[in-house]
Chain A
Amino acid sequence: MTETTAAHQIAWVYDLNKCIGCQTCSVACKVLWTRDEGEKHEWWCSVNTQPGLGTPKNWEEMGGGADETGRPKPGHQPTREEFGGGFDFNHEEVFYGGSAGKVFLEPQAPRENRWAMNWDEDQGAGEWPNSYYFYLPRMCNHCSNPVCLQACATGALAKREDGLVLRDEDICMGDRFCMEACPYKKIYFNYERHVAQQCIGCFPRIEAGVAPACVRQCPGRAVFVGWMDDESSSVHRLVHEWKIALPLHGEAGTQPNVFYVPPLSPYRLKEDMSIDYEQPRIPPEYLESLFGPEVHSALATVKGEMDKVREGGSSEMMKTLIAYKWQELLGPFSRDPVELTPSAAS
């Protein structure tokens, strides 16, 4: 297997109880990194409603990942249509065509099989009054066992000493074995430049001590970043000490470095509209399918700590999750980007 051990490992933790699905992380990433040619359909950070088919459409059924020995498993390369989006719109007609109020903004693409990032927003699952959904931000997981890197024929991918998995686009031939092997399907293909592309972890910001855009711009204070190997970091404590932040589809075997505090949910309502205190509205087995069997103890721990605080106690874990001081979310990357000069940023 390719040597991929990093001296440090940067990691993210998204608290799904605080994510409001506002897409500020997605847009912060978009405006910073994917506005060049061929990148219109690329959303290196995206938020989808769960349950849902996601981005790309039905990505959880596309295979890839690693077997029990860590070797990559075959998977499907998501197509242009499965990612969808990147539409052109009829702006000219709507704004200057003299048909105000009659013609509306419409993607200039066939109606059949339309799809795009966040296309199934807020659909969720279940029947009223027990319908349910939650938001799931996703990005490259900068895995500790990066099967993308192992699959690549040209050696275009590397895992850096800070744990980021980065691609050298001058080497990438656009063969897309990485896209097939990635179980999270978070690698895009740039059809104009003939290279694959994915989240770069905002490495120029990281190197300058500035948090990634998805973290710094989150208005919900829902995402933490830090060194996983720093035992005092929030990401380490949430994942390893309190064990309430879990990998998404950890069974895919790539050892992702993006973790999630799973969502709590209200209780189900019975037919007489009384509360069924035995049944959470989000089916536990659904959460288990995403976050593994540890999700039950993680949720129990969060609930227990919430109860402790309600009863007047103190909880270090709850203080961390609440993030009274938002800079605490940024770990060692707390420098204000306005302090950067262009030369310092480069």
Chain B
Amino acid sequence: MKVSKVSDAASSLGSPTAAGWSSAAAETVKLGAIPVAAQPTAYIQEAWAKRPYASTSRAKVAAATDGERLYVRLEWADDAKANGEFPDGAAVVFPGAANSAVETLGSAAAPVGLWYWQNGRAEALEIESHGPGVFRKQASDGIKATAALESGRWSVVLSGPATAAKGGKVGVVVWNGTNEERAGLGAVSQGWLGLEQA
């Protein structure tokens, strides 16, 4: 995926509806489920054995940087059915080790890092993930998120230090709150997406 270089990113890319994103190259990423047998507790495995999850099939991803910060824009179709309990969410995933797997959201030996947005949370979170839903909140490194829901589609921009992209690849997770998706039940990109300077 091409990472656009811009000079005034905060104003041109800070919002998911900002005009700057219209010229950024976006890729559509296929998302899939982490197998139920890989879920971290026997409870989750049993409770979700016969329930479909990871219900968001694809997301559009675009990225840009001003050299200091990396901006990643995610866009996907919202499940419009009402759910008052669980919020929608999304995350950008970065490898924490050379052999980190995005498909399982990392492991104890090879974790991944998440920039995590959840609808209704005042602030984005930085998370180290040791497996599906095995999340550890980290001290925030200035991760920011802005989101918009328009015409049945979510668009979210997550931004943070450009050094997060040093591994040269990112992944994506989308949680459909309507379907009570949380932890390792979100829809995860099926492989890393390589980053290259535009």
Q: Please report A residues at the B interface, Cβ cutoff 8 Å.
A: 71-74, 77, 79-81, 147, 150-155, 170-171, 173-177, 180-181, 191, 194
Contacts and interface: CB of A to CB of B under 8 A. Distances in A.
B85 A175 contact: no
Contact of B183 (A77, A171, A173): A173
A79 B43 contact: no
Nearest to B133: A153
Given A74-B46, A154-B136, A173-B183, 8 more contacts: A72-B41, A72-B46, A77-B85, A153-B134, A154-B133, A171-B136, A175-B133, A175-B182
B184 interface: yes
Contacts of B39: 153
B38 to A, nearest CB: 12
Interface string B106-122: 00000000000010110
B183 A153 contact: yes
B182 A180 contact: no
A174 B118 CA distance: 11
Contacts of B85: 77, 79-80, 176
- In which size bucket is the chain B interface? 20 to 34
A72 B42 contact: yes
Contacts of A153: 39-41, 44, 132-135, 183-184
A181 B47 CA distance: 10
Contact of A173 (B46, B47, B132, B135): B135
A147 B43 contact: yes
A150 B44 contact: no
B152 interface: no
Contacts of A73: 46
Interface in B60-111: 84-86
B153 interface: no
Contact of A180 (B47, B84, B133): B47
B185 to A, nearest CB: 9
What are the 5 A-B residue pairs with the smallest beta carbon separation, nearest first?
Answer: A151-B43, A153-B133, A74-B47, A72-B43, A153-B183
Contacts of B184: 153
A197 to B, nearest CB: 16
7 contacts: A72-B41, A80-B84, A81-B84, A171-B136, A173-B133, A173-B135, A180-B47
Contact of A194 (B44, B47, B118): B118
A154 B135 contact: yes
A151 B44 contact: yes
A94 B121 CA distance: 34
A176 B47 CA distance: 13
Nearest to A194: B121
Contacts of A170: 137
